[in-house]
Amino acid sequence: MARIHNFSAGPGVLPEEVLREAQEALWDFQGTGVGVMECSHRTKTYEAVVESARQRLSKLLGLNKDQHVLFLPGGASTQFFQVPASLLKGGTAAYLETGYWAERAEKEAKRYGTVRVVWSSKATAYDHVPRPGAWSLPPDAAYLHYTSNNTIYGTQFDYVPEVSGDALLVCDASSDILSRPVDGSKFDILYAGAQKNLGPSGVTVVVISQKALDRCTKDLPTMLQYDVHRENGSMYNTPNTWGIYFIERVCAWIERQGGVAAIGEANARKAGKVYAAIDGSGGFYTGTVRADSRSHMNLTWRTPTEDKDTAFHKEADKAHMTGLKGHRAVGGLRASLYNAQNEPAVDALVSFMGDFAKRNG
């Protein structure tokens, strides 16, 4: 069957060029006669992949020499507890509560100390993120944690929050890493499950500063110690070789697109088309989040009724557009326009939106 337009929130669409390269590497990796999933992580060929992935990510994220890139197992959900287990030690951490994943991160942190929710949009169904300065940090906060893009609710920070005093800055960037220019050198810990903008599920990119590493307790199981993974080049245990291979290739693809700046422009253009279709629908479609918080990655909206929402994604499926049903916690509709989402897919969606509104308005 021919490929269809995939608006899935994750695992999400990947660049076609990379998928084709990966197909070949699965069979014969770089002329070795061995597939990339069958080759030891200790071979020179594979070690070069990990090193290249690290270097490309460092460059694309604008990291400095005191920041380390790790490839870890357990998904972003493991970072929800690995961060506080390492840094909290019974102390206090500040959380910006902007959605489901932020809440999940808080829940795990409570096991290790006091969680201060310094800002929340829960009362308005997570329809916005805070503007800079809308919260203040407790003086004893070990770190501030925030989610840069809220995959389920469709909001996104368009700035990096500042921290003061001794607090570290921690970010869950699972659904918008490398989607727009962001100064990566500001983060003490930045983590992202790969399955949206970087590759397949099962590997998590963790950027950690030396300052944060120096504060991590060593009183944890070995696999939970960031420094062990740094010392061992993310090969303390057998890493997700397929996932890291993919991240390396996706980073090379981003470079070929013109880097993160060009990707960011393309993402703004793609999201702008869908938001224009929502806003220009004469009230048929309603965006579910405030205009100043709209995500370029996950776009959420509704039709006038739940029945029409259902009709929309069912008819879209028939028109070869999948993944448009909103998350079960929110309902409505959601289109995920990750980096690899191509413009023809977005144009097809916009055209379908116009047609559907005409027939049902």
Ligand X SMILES: Cc1ncc(COP(=O)(O)O)c(C=O)c1O
Active site residues: 101, 172, 196
The single-letter code of the amino acid at 165 is: G
Element (H, E) at 96: strand 92-97
If binding is defined by CB under 6 A, does position 76 make contact with ligand X?
yes
- Other Cβ atoms less than 10 A from the Cβ of 255: the count is 15
Contact partners, residue 15, CB within 8 Å, separation at least 6: 250, 253, 339, 340
Distances (CA, A) of 165 to 17, 134, 160, 335: 45, 17, 16, 39
Instruction: Please give the backbone phi and psi of residue 7, each rounded to the nearest 5 degrees, phi first.
Output: -105, 25
User: Which residue do the tokens 């061995």 mark?
Assistant: 34
Smallest Cα–Cα separation from 142: which of 165, 108, 110, 172? 165
Question: Smaller CB distance to ligand X: residue 39 or 85?
Answer: 85
Judge whether 263 and 320 are in contact, CB under 8 Å. no
Element (H, E) at 335: strand 333-336
Which of 82, 155, 175, 267 binds ligand X (CB under 6 A)? It is: 175
* Distance (Å, whole) CA 218 – CA 237: 18
Mark residues 16-55: x for contact with ligand X by CB under 6 A, - for none: ----------------------------------------
Rounded to a whole number of angstroms, the minimum distance from the CB of residue 322 to ligand X is 17
If binding is defined by CB under 6 A, does position 240 make contact with ligand X?
no
Residue nearest to ligand X (CB): 75
* Distance (Å, whole) CA 281 – CA 278: 5
Rounded to a whole number of angstroms, the minimum distance from the CB of residue 358 to ligand X is 33
* Count of CA atoms in the C-beta half-sphere (13 A) of 154: 29
Which of 97, 106, 172, 309 binds ligand X (CB under 6 A)? It is: 172
If binding is defined by CB under 6 A, does position 226 make contact with ligand X?
no
Rounded to a whole number of angstroms, the minimum distance from the CB of residue 246 to ligand X is 15
Which of 147, 179, 241, 336 binds ligand X (CB under 6 A)? It is: 147
* Distance (Å, whole) CA 160 – CA 157: 7
Question: Smaller CB distance to ligand X: residue 138 or 200?
Answer: 200
Of residues 307 through 326, those in contact with ligand X by CB under 6 A are none
If binding is defined by CB under 6 A, does position 197 make contact with ligand X?
no
Question: Smaller CB distance to ligand X: residue 193 or 199?
Answer: 193
Q: What is the dihedral of CA 75, 249, 6, 78, to 10 degrees?
A: 0
Rounded to a whole number of angstroms, the minimum distance from the CB of residue 254 to ligand X is 20
Rounded to a whole number of angstroms, the minimum distance from the CB of residue 294 to ligand X is 16
Of residues 87 through 146, those in contact with ligand X by CB under 6 A are 101
Rounded to a whole number of angstroms, the minimum distance from the CB of residue 59 to ligand X is 24
If binding is defined by CB under 6 A, does position 250 make contact with ligand X?
no
If binding is defined by CB under 6 A, does position 70 make contact with ligand X?
no
Q: Which stretch binds ligand X (CB under 6 A): 72-80, 249-257, 322-330, 335-343?
A: 72-80
If binding is defined by CB under 6 A, does position 10 make contact with ligand X?
yes
Structure-block tokens of residue 51: 């090193």
Which residues of the chain form contacts with ligand X (CB under 6 A)? 10, 75-77, 101, 147, 151, 172, 174-175, 193
